[in-house]
Structure formats: structure tokens, C-alpha cells
A and B are shown apart, each in its own frame.
Chain A
């Protein structure tokens, strides 16, 4: 199977 990470981990909170 496949899974997906969380895109937030690539960006910083402003």
C-alpha cells in the first residue's frame, strides 16, 4: 500500500 505525509512539514507557520 501507499501512504502520504503531511505537506505542512515542508512549510513553516508564518
Chain B
């Protein structure tokens, strides 16, 4: 049996908003450790992995590992009906049923909404995600997640919004990270310098560079990842020319959301 409770729907609402526009289905793995979610986009360019440890929930009972594929668009629709302070209960029975029940209960007026979701196939996930060696990454950038979101918005507004294939080039050189994109009639570059931690100790931009690195990514993916900002104040971007880039948001003490994305390479 699986029975979970969260006294505030916000966390789960934010998780769904952070993944549902790019990923249509996800695999949810519940175990004694917590919830591990994985999803891959249809072009197989990006993968998202989420961990919410059991401690993230107000009540967590999972006496047997349970893996289920769920449609994220349907879930996001249901969660948009939930208020931030609704109490969420997630329940699944033994193997014979292939549905999971999400219940939203309003603490103020006692209204209860019940959604049953059927399991779906997930095309390729879950995958085993190794911890790639640190030495493989040429550069790591840590910055406030709101700043990263602002950068993505600026780049998107400059690039032709109708073009799904706008490319952003992220390059790291010494104590600077540059975001570059090309619009219809010009280019746009946003330069971020490493900030002095003394001035704003809570919102530093930190750049660790082993070697110069410059990689091209799809802007619409990056834009979508930036929605992780509702889950964490900081984002860490790890760049390597040999591995998928990682955009990581730590969720308080209870987990993380990591987006893996392949850079575009010259043909």
C-alpha cells in the first residue's frame, strides 16, 4: 500500500509546473526512500530526474516499491484546480489496481476533490543515471534561480518567438558566463560576472572554470527548465563537451530536480 500526505499542495504544484510543458509522461517510483520521478522529452534531447525524500512529506507510507507511469498534462490540469494550502493525499492499492488517487482537501471549507489517474507507458524511462565524475565538467556556474529565469526570458524575447529552434550559446571564460543568441536582425549577449559574495551573500553568482567551454542549446528547453525557480533559490549549471549539461535545483533539504540536456553539435 502507498499512502502519502502533504499539508500544502504548493510543492507538488510547483513540481508539475516545472516539468509538464516539456515532458508529457513521467515515471513515478515510490520506495522507502521517497519519490523518484523521471521523464524524457519526445526528441530524447532532455531528461528530468526529481527526488523528493520521504521527509518532504508530512506522512509517508510505502511498504512496497511501486513504479507507475503517469500523464503529466492531466496531472497538471488537476493540480491547477488545487489551492496552495490544500492538503494532498496520494493513495495506491496493491498490484491489481493500475490507478493512483490524488485527493485535494481544502482546510477552510472542507471541499474534497478526488482524481484517479490511470497508469500509462513511459517510453524509455526510468533509466539508470550515474553520478558523472566532477572532472568531466569543464565549468560549473551557480546563480540565483530568479536571475537565470530572467536571463532566459530576455533571450526568448529577443529571439524570434515563433521559432522553436532558437539556439543559445553558453560560454564560460574566466570569471564570466555569457549567454548568446541570434535574433532575426542581430544578436544578443548577456554577460554575468562572478559576484562578490560580501555584498549579497545570499544570492551569489559563482563560476568555477577548469577550461573554457562553449556549448549550444535549444533555448526553449532552457526556458522550460528555468521554471524550476519555484522550487529553489539557486540553480547550478554543469557544462561538459562530453556529457549532457546538468541544470540542478536543490529542493530545501529534501531532494532535487535535475534537468539533463544534450548540446547541439556541428554537423
Name A residues whose Cβ lies closer than 8 Å to a Cβ of B: 1-8, 10-14
User: Contact: B128 with A2, CB < 8 Å?
Assistant: no
Contact A7/B128 with A2-B264, A2-B265, A2-B266 known, Cβ cut-off 8 Å: no
Contact A11/B265 with A2-B167, A4-B43, A4-B45 known, Cβ cut-off 8 Å: no
- B177 at the A interface (CB under 8 A): no
Name B residues whose Cβ lies closer than 8 Å to a Cβ of A: 40, 43-47, 124, 126-130, 167, 216, 243-244, 260-267
A14 to B86, CA, bound (A): 35
Number of A-B contacts (CB under 8 A): 49
User: Contact: A1 with B267, CB < 8 Å?
Assistant: yes
User: Contact: A8 with B45, CB < 8 Å?
Assistant: no
Given contacts A3-B265, A8-B40, A10-B244, 7 further A-B contacts (CB under 8 A): A4-B45, A4-B262, A4-B264, A5-B265, A6-B44, A8-B44, A14-B127
User: Contact: B128 with A3, CB < 8 Å?
Assistant: no
Could you name 12 residue pairs across A and B whose Cβ atoms are closer than 8 Å? Answer: A2-B216, A2-B267, A4-B43, A4-B263, A4-B264, A7-B45, A7-B47, A7-B244, A10-B260, A11-B128, A12-B127, A14-B127
